[in-house]
Structure 1
């Protein structure tokens, strides 16, 4: 069912206030072929990522020695106390001539109206009851970059939604990852934007800051953007629910005559579809500010004196950038996806 814009905004605003969730913009820090969680120390990793957050991000991010909060001099996210890093794969459009173009990202409005992003994504921290903030050195992954089977993905936690307008404030549909949302990337010329949602697990084993697969130390306790339910005994510690929202503006690629004759014209940078959508998270909030924010009911993207968190202006967080470490051209038309060999312009 499609709600009217005003009704949906009002409903979401009420829900946001009731949940006291943080919801804020993060602009692009860099678009780079690096991955310090899965491929630490490697330049030109198997696929391209877009990264936001603290500018101490690097190719190793050794959890024993790397202090994101202490070593970052700026963050591309709204709250200046949040030096965490958040990243995802990049969406590309494939032209029928075989060339590829990176799909631009824009902000996502919703209950707050427009969130201003220079690329990047929007981040949520959703509490449900008493939550324990992440510890220094904590990291995790949601999704599987090699998966090609949509049936292996929980549609309630990783999904895509077709937006028939380029107005991100014209909210459509219900809660994230519900209704007609799909695991696969929509391939419909009526879609002017595609919203990607990635919801992370909310339960932690209470011991390990990471695990060999970067997932076993955490567990889901339900589906959807609810903050999660009761945690299992194997993972008894309730975490704030982290959720990413990305708005891919596909409006310039809606001419179906330019699409390949077979297959989805939209793919992620692994050259596969929505079943491989994934997100990476490295915690980097200063001190105990995130714990205080959760305990104090801090809300949306506003200053919150009780937690000592301060919202930057868009000009401030948009200015936080980091040069590519794996130097290559990733914008404009490319002969092939940047996988293995360096990217080459078409």
Structure 2
């Protein structure tokens, strides 16, 4: 991979990633009941658990997009379309996995012969089209992505995040993730330990934050040349419910390219078919009318048996994203400086994705999720689990974006290598330049979930690719810098001069 896949993580992220995320990828998210149930299981929870953990529950496929770090500009649209096709193929295969339980029980080779094998053939053909797109415009294709066509299968116990997180004991020190029996049906949705849509979250995905040891590291020491100012932009909480399931950065021109729903604040005309000119005409929810930037993130839903407008739509209930959508109570968007020097202004139309929506496939190298509770943010930050907050405490999602830019590109083929994180001392390496660091803090009023006998009730989870099983580590945030009236320079000057601006 490129530079950013080997990035040195911020001290906070280094501390919070103490437990491994499950390695899984599928797609789809068809709603069904008793996803983990075996044809021979009894009423015994113990027997159900054994049957559940040994059953294939998802499909794991390599993420081809992360390997494509050198795609010519003229080939990027075609490549993006084919990468979206790979996601769609996995989604369809995962849906077939979910809907053929009886056939799998009757034939031990069914999954391989009827699902995984055909999927490999489709992926191989799609990856070859990517090769053609790149070579057609004179680009090079080393052949290694062609080796990523094959997928594997994972069982329930292989997709359990469980274990100890950040030095704290999960659920009183007992791993609950293996107890994933089918639950009671409610309107066709599964009410059990694996989420209403059967693809998460599980009991193991939650932890009582009061039982987690403090893990927040000290910030880098400031030098005399530090840029200590801040610039806050007030853009609302998406109270007007500006949503879609597109992702114009990763899948331009592809409807439902994200396979999950986003909240949008800032620019009001962002979808798969937007371009830079659209952004300039999009209007904004920000109080500063010169801030036309787009800030968007996956919605959070509470799985309490309620449903929302997209329960039967792509990217919603049809793909495993179920429950009532929660609007943040607050959304703080702030630009901060570098502890070691001055920053340069962000270039117009810079795109940054922080975090990784596919950590259950890619591992935690690019994970940048931070979950906490009000009253605990300076002590505990979680990456691989959702916090169960005390009564009266709000759930908090925070993001600290990459703050180093290569000085040339507003995007890159894998949407990562043009930006990077600063090192442990706060310096940008490899010729990269410090830019104002975008930070975001979202708070939610969420009734604390409960975990009993390995079952989580009233769970909440971030929307995601249905194959990623709604793991906390898949949280991510997207940003497109669009400003007018010299705002980009004003932000940099404010940060450099140590002022507090808005």
TM-score, structure 2 as length reference: 0.45
Q: Hey, what does 2:435 align to over in structure 1? A: 239
Is 1:89 matched with 2:303? no
Verify: 1:295 aligned to 2:499, yes or no.
no
Residue correspondence of structure 1 range 1-346 to structure 2 within 5 A: 19-27=228-236, 28=238, 30-45=242-257, 46-63=259-276, 66=277, 68=279, 70-72=280-282, 74-95=283-304, 100-107=323-330, 121-128=331-338, 129-148=341-360, 152=364, 157-163=368-374, 172-173=375-376, 175=378, 179-183=379-383, 184-188=385-389, 190=391, 192-222=393-423, 229-233=426-430, 235-250=431-446, 253-254=447-448, 256=450, 261-262=455-456, 265-270=459-464, 271-296=469-494, 297=497, 299-300=499-500, 302=502
Distance in 2 between residues matched to 1:181 and 1:231, nearest whole Å? 24
Q: Residues of 2 paired with 1:86 and 1:67: CA distance?
A: 15
CA distance 1:97–1:133, shift in 2 (3 Å): closer
Deviations 1:171-229 (A, max 9, x none): x3465xxx211112213463642110111111111121101221111110047xxxx82
- CA-based RMSD of the aligned residues comes to 3.2
Q: 1:150 to 1:191 in 2, by over 3 A?
A: farther
Query: Does 1 or 2 have the higher relative contact order (CA < 8 Å, sep 6+)?
Result: 1
TM-score where L is the length of structure 1: 0.63
Q: Which of the two has higher C-alpha Rg? A: 2
Distance 2:490 2:414 in 1: 30
Runs of at least 5 residues in structure 1 that lack an aligned partner in the other structure: 3-17, 108-120, 164-171, 303-346
Give, in whole Å, the separation in 1 of the partners of 2:248 and 2:366.
26
Alpha-carbon distance change, 174 to 268 in structure 1, aligned in 2, over 3 angstroms:
closer
Q: Relative to 1, partners in 2 of residues 1:95 and 1:209: Cα closer, same or farther, differing over 3 Å?
A: same
Cα distance, 1:264–1:203 mapped onto 2, change above 3 Å: farther
* Equivalent residues of 2:345, 2:491 under 8 A apart: no
In structure 2, stretches of 5+ residues that fail to align are 1-209, 211-226, 308-321
- The CA distance in 2 between the partners of 1:187 and 1:174, in whole Å, is 13
Instruction: Indicate the residue corresponding to 1:116 in structure 2.
Output: none
Give every structure 1 segment of 4 or more consecutive aligned residues whose post-TM-superposition deviation is greater than 4 Å. 96-99, 257-260, 298-301
CA 57–255 in structure 1, closer or farther in 2 if over 3 Å, else same: closer
Moved more, 211-220 or 186-195: 186-195
Structure 2: how far apart are the matches of 1:257 and 1:275?
20
CA distance in 1, matches of 2:300, 2:452: 17
- Equivalent pair of 1:52/1:87 in contact (CA under 8 Å): yes
For the 8 Å contact 2:230–2:501, the answer to whether it is kept is: no
Measured against aligned partners, the alpha-carbon deviations of 1:2-50 in whole angstroms (never above 9, x if no partner) come to 9xxxxxxxxxxxxxxx822012332216122121112212223311110
